[in-house]
Chains A and B, each alone.
Chain A
Amino acid sequence: MKYQSQKVAKLYFIAAIGLFVGQILFGLIMGMQYVVGDFLFPEIPFNVARMVHTNLLIVWLLFGFMGASYYLVPEEAETELFAPWLAHLMFWVFLAAGAATILAYLLVPYAALAELTMNDLLPTMGREFLEQPTITKIGIVIVVLAFLFNIGMTILKGRKTVVNLVLLMGLTGLAVFFLFAFYNPTNLVMDKYYWWWVVHLWVEGVWELILGSILAFILIKTTGVDREVIEKWLYIIIAMTLITGIVGMGHHYYWIGAPEFWQWWGSIFSALEPIPFFMMTVYAFNMVNKRRRNHPNKAAVLWALGTAVMAFLGAGVWGFLHTLAPVNYYTHGTQITAAHGHMAFYGAYVMIVLGMISYSMPLMRGRELCNSARSQSLEMWSFWLMTISMVFITLFLTAAGILQVYLQRFSDNPMDFMVVQDKIALFYWLREITGVIFLIGLIVYIASFFIGQDEPEATVEPLK
C-alpha cells in the first residue's frame, strides 16, 4: 500500500462481504421455497426473498467496485485520494440507505413501502432489479456522483494510466445508464426496452470495463509484465466487448413487442459476445505465463485466472447457448436464463471483486505482500468450494431448464407451469444442496481472514 488514503477501501470490502453473506442466505431461502412452497410463508414471500437476494448482490458488487476503485486509483494515479473524508461519508450514507431499504423490504409489505415512499410521485418501483423505492434510487445517484467526483478528481491531479481511464469510463457509464431507471412509461414495451439500457448496458457493457481494468491492475501487480502490453490488450478486449455488446442488446428484444429485425441483429451480434470473454481468458493466462516474477499472493492470482475462465463459461458459453432467436424462442424466461445469470454474475463480477479483495486486503492489514500460507490455503479452498458449487448449481438449473422447456413448451402435450415445476423438483433439490456447499465455501472464505493471521507471510521461490 503506497498511499494512506487507499485504506478507505477496507471499509467498503468489509461491507461487501457482509452483504454477500446476506445474499447467499436469502438465495438458500428462495431455493428452499422452490421445493417446499410454503417455506416461511407468509412471513417472507418468495418475491421478497428474491428482491433481497438480487438487490443485495447489486449493492455488494457496487461496494466492491467502489472499494476496488478507492484502492487502485490512488496507486495508479500516484497521489492521495482527492477527498478521503468524502469516501468515508459516502460509505456510511450508502450503507445506511442500503440497509434501510433491505430492512424495509423485509418488514413492510411492498405495496405499503411504495405508498410510504410516495412512489406515486415518480413511479419507478416494482420492476425487476429496480425494486428500490424512488428515494433510494435518488440516493444511489447521489452516492455514485460523489464517488465519481472523488475518483475523477484524483485521476485528474495524478498520473493518467489506461487502467484508471478505463475504470473511470466504466464507472461513468454505470452512472449514466442508471438514469434510465427513472424512465417508466405505462407503455410496457417501451418500459422494457429502456429497462434493458440499465440492465444490459451495465452487465454486458460498462461493468465489463470495470472488470477489465481491475483485472489488468491485478495482473500488472502480480505478474510484473510490462504495463504497455497489458494495457494494449485491455483496450482490444473492451473494444470487442462494446462492439459486440452494444448491438448485442438486441437479444433481449426478440419477444417483448419490438420489431422482428431485432431477431437478426440481436442474434448476429450477441453470438459474437463470447469473443471478448475468450480473449480475456487467453490474455490472463498469457500474462501469468509470461510473468517476470513469482508473486507470493497465490490466492489473488488464482482469483484472477478464475474470473477469466468462469466469466467466459458463464457469460460467454452459457450466454451463447440461448442467445440465438430460434433457440431463445423456447428458452426465454425459463430456468436456462437463471442458470446463465448465476454463473455469469459469479464468474465475471463476484470473482473479480473477491480477487481484488484478495490482493489488497492483506496490504491494508499491514502485510508486505500477502497473507500467511495457511490463510491463503484456506482462501484457495474457499475458491474451489464456491466455484465448483457454482458450476453445479448452473448445471442443475440447466438440466431443470431443459426439462422445463421440453415439458412445458416443446412436447406434443405441453403441461401447465406448476405441473412441470413439480416434475423437475429433483434438480431444485440438488441445486439447494449445492447452494449449502457454496455457503460453506463462503464461511471458509471469511475464516481465511482470521486464521493464520499471526503467522509469517508466505514466500515463493524467485523466478529464474
Chain B
Amino acid sequence: MEKSKWPPGDLVIWIFIMAELLVFGIFFAAYAFTRANHVELFNTYQATLDRNAALINTLALITSSYFVVRAVAAIKMDDSRKCFQWLLAALFMGLVFLLVKGIEYQHHFSQGISLSTNTFYMFYLSMTFFHFLHVILGMVILIAVALKARAGGYSARQHDGVETGASYWHMVDLVWMVLFPLVYVMN
C-alpha cells in the first residue's frame, strides 16, 4: 500500500482544478487590469459591498475546509461515521455561505443592480456568481462523497473519493480567499 501519494485523490480532478484555476486566474487578471484603468469607479462601487457579510463567508469557507480536512483524517483512521459527520459539518458551513451570499444578491437585485450596471458590477457579479455556482457544485460533490462514506464505501486503504472531493472543495475555498481581498477589500 502506498503511504503518501501525491497529489491526493484522483489525478483527473487535478486536471480539472488546474483548468478551473486558469479560468478564475484570467478573470482575476482581467479584473486587475480593468481596475487599473478605472480606479475611481471601482473604489466607489466597492464601497457599496457588504464587507461584513463577505468576512462571515470567508470564515465559513475556512471552517468548512477545516472540517473537510478532519473528514479525510477520519477516513484514514477507518472511521466512516466520523468522516460522514465532518462532511455534514462542512456542508453546513457551505450552506451558510450560500445563505449569506444569497442575502447579499437579494440586496443588490432589489436595487436594480445587474451585470450591465457598470464595469465594476459586471466583474463583481460575474466572478462571485461563477464562484457561487462552484460552491453549489462543490457541495453536490461533498454530498455524494458523504453518502458513500455513510454507506461504508471508503476505508483507510481506499479513500481516493474522499480526497478527490476534498481537493475540489479546497480549490473552491482557495478561489474565495483570492476573491475576497481582491474584490471586497483592496483599494
Direct A–B contact in complex, judged by CB atoms less than 8 Å apart:
yes
List the interface of chain A (C-beta within 8 A of B): 232, 236, 239-240, 243, 259-261, 264-265, 268-269, 271-272, 275
Interface residues of B in 1-59 (CB under 8 A from A): 12, 15-16, 19, 22-23, 26-27, 30
Q: Is B103 part of the binding interface, using a Cβ–Cβ cutoff of 8 Å?
A: no
Q: Mark B109-142, 1 if CB is under 8 A from A, else 0.
A: 0000001100000110010000000000000000
The answer to whether A269 and B23 touch across the interface, beta carbons within 8 angstroms, is: yes
The answer to whether B19 and A240 touch across the interface, beta carbons within 8 angstroms, is: yes
The answer to whether A264 and B19 touch across the interface, beta carbons within 8 angstroms, is: no
Chain A residues contacting B126 (CB-CB under 8 Å) are 261, 264-265
CA distance A259 to B126 in the complex (A): 13
**Closest approach, in angstroms, between the C-beta of B15 and any C-beta of chain A?**
6
Chain B residues contacting A243 (CB-CB under 8 Å) are 19
The answer to whether A272 and B122 touch across the interface, beta carbons within 8 angstroms, is: no
Which B residue sits closest to A267, measured CB to CB? B30
The answer to whether B26 and A236 touch across the interface, beta carbons within 8 angstroms, is: no
The answer to whether B15 and A272 touch across the interface, beta carbons within 8 angstroms, is: no
The answer to whether A268 and B30 touch across the interface, beta carbons within 8 angstroms, is: yes
Chain B residues contacting A236 (CB-CB under 8 Å) are 12, 15
Chain A residues contacting B19 (CB-CB under 8 Å) are 240, 243, 272, 275
Which B residue sits closest to A259, measured CB to CB? B116
With beta carbons under 8 angstroms apart, the residue of B15, B22, B23, B122 that contacts A261 is: B122
Given contacts A236-B15, A240-B19, contact A268 B116 (CB under 8 A): no
CB<8 Å pairs between A and B, sample of 23:
A236-B12, A239-B16, A240-B19, A243-B19, A259-B115, A259-B116, A260-B116, A260-B122, A261-B115, A261-B116, A264-B30, A264-B122, A264-B123, A264-B126, A265-B126, A268-B23, A268-B30, A271-B26, A272-B19, A272-B22, A272-B23, A272-B26, A275-B19
The answer to whether A268 and B27 touch across the interface, beta carbons within 8 angstroms, is: yes
**Closest approach, in angstroms, between the C-beta of B101 and any C-beta of chain A?**
19
Chain B residues contacting A264 (CB-CB under 8 Å) are 30, 122-123, 126
CA distance A232 to B10 in the complex (A): 12
Which B residue sits closest to A240, measured CB to CB? B19
CA distance A271 to B26 in the complex (A): 10
Chain A residues contacting B22 (CB-CB under 8 Å) are 272
Which A residue sits closest to B22, measured CB to CB? A272
Which B residue sits closest to A243, measured CB to CB? B19
Q: A232-B12, A239-B16, A271-B26 are in contact. List 10 more A-B contacts (CB 8 A).
A: A236-B15, A240-B19, A261-B115, A264-B30, A264-B123, A264-B126, A268-B27, A272-B19, A272-B26, A275-B19
Which B residue sits closest to A279, measured CB to CB? B15
The answer to whether B122 and A268 touch across the interface, beta carbons within 8 angstroms, is: no
Chain A residues contacting B26 (CB-CB under 8 Å) are 268, 271-272
CA distance A275 to B20 in the complex (A): 13
CA distance A112 to B7 in the complex (A): 65
**Closest approach, in angstroms, between the C-beta of A346 and any C-beta of chain B?**
28
Which A residue sits closest to B25, measured CB to CB? A268
Q: Which of A264, A269, A275 has the most CB of B within 10 A?
A: A264
Which B residue sits closest to A235, measured CB to CB? B12
Q: Mark B85-104, 1 if CB is under 8 A from A, else 0.
A: 00000000000000000000
Chain A residues contacting B27 (CB-CB under 8 Å) are 268
Which A residue sits closest to B121, measured CB to CB? A261
**Closest approach, in angstroms, between the C-beta of B136 and any C-beta of chain A?**
16
CA distance A280 to B30 in the complex (A): 28
Enumerate the 9 nearest inter-chain pairs by beta-carbon distance, A residue then B residue, closest first: A261-B115, A268-B26, A261-B122, A259-B116, A268-B27, A236-B15, A261-B116, A236-B12, A264-B30
**Closest approach, in angstroms, between the C-beta of B35 and any C-beta of chain A?**
13
Chain B residues contacting A268 (CB-CB under 8 Å) are 23, 26-27, 30
Chain A residues contacting B30 (CB-CB under 8 Å) are 264, 268
Which B residue sits closest to A269, measured CB to CB? B23
CA distance A265 to B30 in the complex (A): 11
Chain A residues contacting B115 (CB-CB under 8 Å) are 259, 261
Chain B residues contacting A240 (CB-CB under 8 Å) are 19
**Closest approach, in angstroms, between the C-beta of B27 and any C-beta of chain A?**
6
CA distance A271 to B29 in the complex (A): 14
**Closest approach, in angstroms, between the C-beta of A38 and any C-beta of chain B?**
47
Which B residue sits closest to A239, measured CB to CB? B16
Chain A residues contacting B122 (CB-CB under 8 Å) are 260-261, 264
Chain A residues contacting B12 (CB-CB under 8 Å) are 232, 236
